[in-house]
Amino acid sequence: MDDIIATDKQIEQILQQIAVIPEQVADGIVVIDLAGTVRFFNPAWVAMHGCDANEELIGMHISEFHTKEQMKILVADFIEETKRRGQLVGPVEHMRSDGTVFCSQTKMSTVRDKEGKTIGLVVFATNTTQPANAQRHLSDQTIELTAANQQLQQEVAKRKQLEEHLSQQTNELTAARKQIRQTNTEQTQTTRRLSEQSSQLKTIEEQLQQEFARRIQAKENLAQLQARLNILLVNICKLNQELSLTCLKKGTENQKV
């Protein structure tokens, strides 16, 4: 709401400056805001369109001075092109209050505030409805403007196609990024699982090494027991031999007696 009020004040200041233009100027002059609403007009504009001198035009829409076909075919594009370029000159058809059509050489310029923001449009119209040469000149200019309008539409179509292509590429890039993130997540999970399996394998390896060490120790203990058993067997054999000799001696002594 504050922006609208500020824009209205700026337009009012511009209208005060325009108001010093002599009312006797031959060209019709009208100022419209960005919505197309009439904010200022001079007597030549009233006379050009056959309006009642006492009729209040402030607040009317610019379409009131054109047919629906004129607005659709040319005027709307003329306004948009002026907003884009800043200024545009060319033939534009108008409609009088009685419904008759006339052509004018129109110069349309944007109105900007101190910050360079477009806040309205100033239209200067010169009635060029004259037979023969003027009509041919109007026809030529209309053809040129129509060709320019068609070229503009082609450029808009190309730009729209380019935007669609860029949008498709953006979608593809987004999908590729999503797939990459998913792949990175899967790789991270795989790395984590491999790390866990590696830790498990390391634990198993340590357990095997411990079991192998225990078996080696048991083998060494068994070897020691076997050695002790062998010594014990040797001692038993010696005792048996000594016992046998003792028994033999006693037998011999008993025979002598």
Question: pLDDT tens, position by position, for the chain (257 residues)?
Answer: 334 344 556 555 555 555 445 455 678 999 999 999 999 999 999 999 998 877 789 999 999 999 999 999 999 999 999 999 999 999 999 999 999 999 999 999 999 888 889 999 999 999 887 544 445 555 666 777 777 778 878 888 888 899 999 999 999 999 999 999 998 999 999 889 998 998 898 999 899 999 988 999 988 888 898 888 889 888 888 888 888 888 877 777 666 65
Flag whether 247 is in a domain: no
How many structural domains compose the chain? 1
Residue 27 has what DSSP assignment? S
| pLDDT for res 130 | 53
Flag whether 252 is in a domain: no
| pLDDT for res 136 | 55
Residue 37 has what DSSP assignment? B
Q: Can you tell me the distance from the alpha carbon of 100 to that of 56, in angstroms, rounded to the nearest whole number?
A: 21
Flag whether 235 is in a domain: no
Flag whether 230 is in a domain: no
Angle between helices 133-256 and 76-85 (to 10 degrees): 70
What domain range includes position 77?
A: 2-129
Flag whether 182 is in a domain: no
Element (H, E) at 127: strand 118-127
The CATH number for 116's domain is 3.30.450.20
| pLDDT for res 131 | 46
Q: In what order do the strands lie in the sheet with 101-112?
A: 38-41, 28-33, 118-127, 101-112, 87-95
Element (H, E) at 203: helix 133-256
| pLDDT for res 134 | 47
| pLDDT for res 152 | 79
Flag whether 45 is in a domain: yes
Flag whether 92 is in a domain: yes
Flag whether 166 is in a domain: no
